[in-house]
Amino acid sequence: LVPRLRPFTSTIFAEMTALAVRTGAINLGQGFPDTDGPVGMLDAAKNALYGGANQYPPGPGRPELRAAIARHRERYGLSYDPDTEILVTAGATEAITAAVLALTEPGDEVLVIEPYYDSYPAAIAMAGATRKVVPLAEGEDGRFVLDVQALRAAVTPATRAILVNSPHNPTGTVFSEAELSAIADLCVKNDLVAITDEVYEHLVFDGAEHRPLAAFPGMRERTVSISSAGKTFNCTGWKIGWVCAAPELVGAVKAAKQFITFVSGGPLQPAVAHALDHELDWVDALRKSLEAKRDRLSAGLAEAGFAVRPSFGTYFVCADVRPLGFTDAAELAWQLPERIGVAAVPVSVFTDHPEQWKHLLRFAFCKRDEVLDEGIKRLHELR
Ligand code: PMP
Ligand code: GLN
């Protein structure tokens, strides 16, 4: 293995899920739901599968899916031409990697907000570029906030791009209008490309709404907006994602993407098109149910003795292990499955500064209530 990929030989999700399976633990580690997506979407996939949609789809994605993605993006007041400004990818993961490969090279710096999704440093390493990591700060009320000064200070003449994930995995933070606006200003002033990871765009709680960075002044032309069907429609295994951006940027991402997978998910693409056009009421119900699950798990964790951080979106809630007498959440995470039969993920693995993030565990709440309740019951045994 080449040196630049040596830090990336395994993922925390694969390892923690394997440990959960081996020990029969309740898996609140890897974020995937334990119920299926809308029946209409599943039927559409079945019909496509038996209706002959089993050969290579067009390189940019099936036209009905690109049209549905364009219609969906209109909800934010953003218009994209399905023929020149939208590309279907193998999940958001491929979109992110292809964007980084297409837009950065050795000598370039990419700004990354920490904690980061695990694929970002790997994508930057594959491109041979350098990551510049800016940690979120923990506010007094337990919110995670963007340190705008630190972000500005991290920009150098070599900075090409910034990766922005909101709603944010693993913290459950949703960046405020002011935070997004500061990022937009920074991009415009320094001529940076923003690569936005919006896979949790529909999973925003308490009546708040997702605001895409591309909707801020000066950002439409310099933002590669990425999302995927996995989280929105409970189909994380389908790996249907997409990129919306100006023609030159989409063209660049396509140049990389076409030699990674070329195309993927033929019969699933029309099903996702159906879901984007017809299943948003189902998604609304999902969002409400997840909001209740967030409350259920947060309350359970607090009762079990954790100091729970507020979660405003995604599948995840973070909890401080120190009130229970532990000092190292990573050490604890590796013991939890054997010790009490619960799996969680330490936040420090998503950072370059493990000491700063040593006290936090991430728990996924995208599970059936009885699974959450059993997990909570077991977590009480930590006292
Ligand atoms: N970004 C974030 C923040 C995620 O949590 C995930 C996991 N679903 C992904 C990207 C990957 O998305 P996909 O499964 O569509 O590749
Ligand atoms: N996005 C999911 C999480 O954060 C896991 C995805 C994966 O396993 N790569 O838990």
Tens of pLDDT, residue by residue over 237-275, are 999 999 999 999 999 999 999 999 999 999 999 999 999
In this structure, are 235 and 124 located in the same domain? yes
Task: Name residue 209's amino acid.
Answer: E
Task: Give distance in angstroms: CA of 32 to centre of ligand 2.
Answer: 7
Please report the pLDDT score of residue 38 as a whole number.
98
The radius of gyration computed from the CA coordinates of the chain, to the nearest angstrom, equals 20
Is 199 a pocket residue for ligand 1 (Cβ < 6 Å)?
yes
- Say what the pLDDT of residue 140 is: 86
pLDDT in tens, 64-121: 999 999 999 999 999 999 999 999 999 999 999 999 999 999 999 999 999 999 999 9
What integer pLDDT is reported at residue 356 of this predicted model?
96
DSSP 3-state of 18: helix
Residue percentage of the chain with pLDDT more than 70: 100
Q: Which residues pair with 38 in a beta bridge?
A: none
- For residues 269 and 290, membership in a common domain is answered with no
Percent of the chain past pLDDT 90, that is, above it, reads: 99
> Is the CB–ligand 2 distance for residue 13 below 6 Å?
yes
- Residues 243 and 349 occupy one common structural domain: no
pLDDT at 194: 98
Cα of 15 from ligand 2 centre, angstroms: 11
Q: Is 15 in the pocket of ligand 2 (CB under 6 A)?
A: no
Query: Is the predicted ipTM greater than 0.85, yes or no?
Result: yes
The answer on 214 and 78 residing in a single domain is yes
Supply angle C-alpha 5, 8, 12, rounded to 5.
175
DSSP letter at 106 equals T
- Mean pLDDT of the chain, nearest integer: 97
| Same domain membership, residue 23 and residue 49 | no
Residue that has been written with the tokens 């030699």 in this structure: 259
Is the shortest distance between the CB of 169 and ligand 1 below 6 Å? yes
Residue 377 exposed, middle or buried by CB count within 10 Å (0-12, 13-18, 19+): middle
CA of 92 to the centre of ligand 1 (A): 6
0.90 surpassed by pTM: yes
CA-93 nearest atom, ligand 2:
9
Q: How far is the CA of 199 from the centre of ligand 1 (A)?
A: 6
To the nearest 10°, the Cα dihedral for 328, 330, 336, 342?
120
Could you tell me if the CB of 92 is within 6 A of ligand 1? yes
Per-residue pLDDT, 1? 95
Assess whether the C-beta atom of 234 lies below 6 angstroms from ligand 1: no
- Are 324 and 267 contained in the same domain? no
The encoded tokens of residue 259 equal 């030699």
Residue found by looking up tokens 């549905």 in the block: 68
**CA 196 to ligand 1 centroid distance, Å:** 12
At residue 113, φ and ψ (nearest 5 deg) are -90, 135
Out of 93, 120, 204, give the residue to mutate to test ligand 1, the one with the largest number of ligand atoms within 8 Å of its CB. Answer: 93
- Quick one: 32 and 168 in the same domain? no
Show which of 229, 254, 278 is a domain's final residue: 278
Task: Verify that 308 and 262 share a domain, yes or no.
Answer: no
Q: Assign residue 90 the CATH number of its domain.
A: 3.40.640.10
pLDDT, tens digit (0-9, with 9 covering 90-100), for 334-373: 999 999 999 999 999 999 999 999 999 999 999 999 999 9
Domain count, the chain: 2
Distance CA 371, CA 294 (A): 13
Closest-CA residue, ligand 2 atom 8, reads 13
User: Domain check: are 225 and 138 in the same one?
Assistant: yes
**Which residue owns the Cα nearest ligand 2 atom 3?**
31
Give yes or no: residues 62 and 173 share one domain. yes
CB of 228 closer than 6 angstroms to any ligand 1 atom: yes
Residue 59: give the domain boundaries: 39-278
Distance 153 CA to ligand 2 centre (A): 30
Give the CATH number of the domain where residue 365 resides: 3.90.1150.10
Residue to mutate, 10, 32, 198, ligand 2, most ligand atoms under 8 Å from C-beta: 32
Choose one of 278, 309, 338: the last residue of a domain. Answer: 278
Mind listing the pLDDT tens digit for each residue in 15-61?
Answer: 999 999 999 999 999 999 999 999 999 999 999 999 999 999 999 99
The residue out of 278, 305, 323 marking a domain boundary is 278
Give pLDDT, residue 137: 97
Same domain, 117 and 21: no
CA of 12 to the centre of ligand 2 (A): 9
Distance CA(33)–CA(97), nearest Å, equals: 24
Ligand 1 centroid from CA 139, angstroms? 26
Is the pLDDT score of 312 beyond 90?
Answer: yes
Residue 292: CB atoms within 10 A of its CB come to 12
110 in the same domain as 96 = yes
pLDDT category at 190 given cuts 50, 70, 90 is very high
